[in-house]
Amino acid sequence: MLELRPSCEHCNTNLPSNSTEAMICTFECTYCRTCAIEIFENVCPNCSGNFVERPIRPSKYIEKYPSSTKKIFKPKDLEITKKNTEKYKDIQPEKDKTMITIRIATEADAVYISLLGRITYTESHGEYIEDKKTY
């Protein structure tokens, strides 16, 4: 069941259950329309997915299934979100190709795998390597 969060995560505007201004992403990150569309340009700053209008829960169900009362207020660093928006705003979410395909490695992949191994090793053990320049 949708959480119906009570406010915009970025600007703290109240978004009651019958608000037509509430926009949500697939993870229910909840923003007001102004933040979601004008500021983030329809790219969720948390998951990079798109937003849709949050459906209104019919009033007859609100008593039994009320809105969440837990406010989430995490204003975004607009410089960082702008970069994220630029990267994803022209990609239709259903055509996002960043999903990884799993397949059996071939000999031609060896160069990438060894490079990845070096990067992973440097990241996990980098602090133990004294002269980082040689790696």
Q: Does 8 bind Zn ion (CB under 5 A)?
A: yes
C-alpha triplet 56, 60, 62: angle, nearest 5°: 60
The residue among 14 and 120 lying less far from Zn ion, judged by its C-beta, is: 14
The residue among 50 and 58 lying less far from Zn ion, judged by its C-beta, is: 50
Q: Which of 10, 17, 19, 51 binds Zn ion (CB under 5 A)?
A: 10
CA distance 100 to 80: 24
Q: Which stretch binds Zn ion (CB under 5 A): 3-11, 15-23, 71-79, 110-118?
A: 3-11
CA distance 41 to 35: 8
CA distance 42 to 85: 8
Longest CA–CA span in the chain (Å) reads: 68
Site for Zn ion in 16-45 (CB under 5 A): 25, 27, 29, 32, 35, 44
Binding site for Zn ion (CB under 5 A): 8, 10-11, 13, 25, 27, 29, 32, 35, 44, 46-47
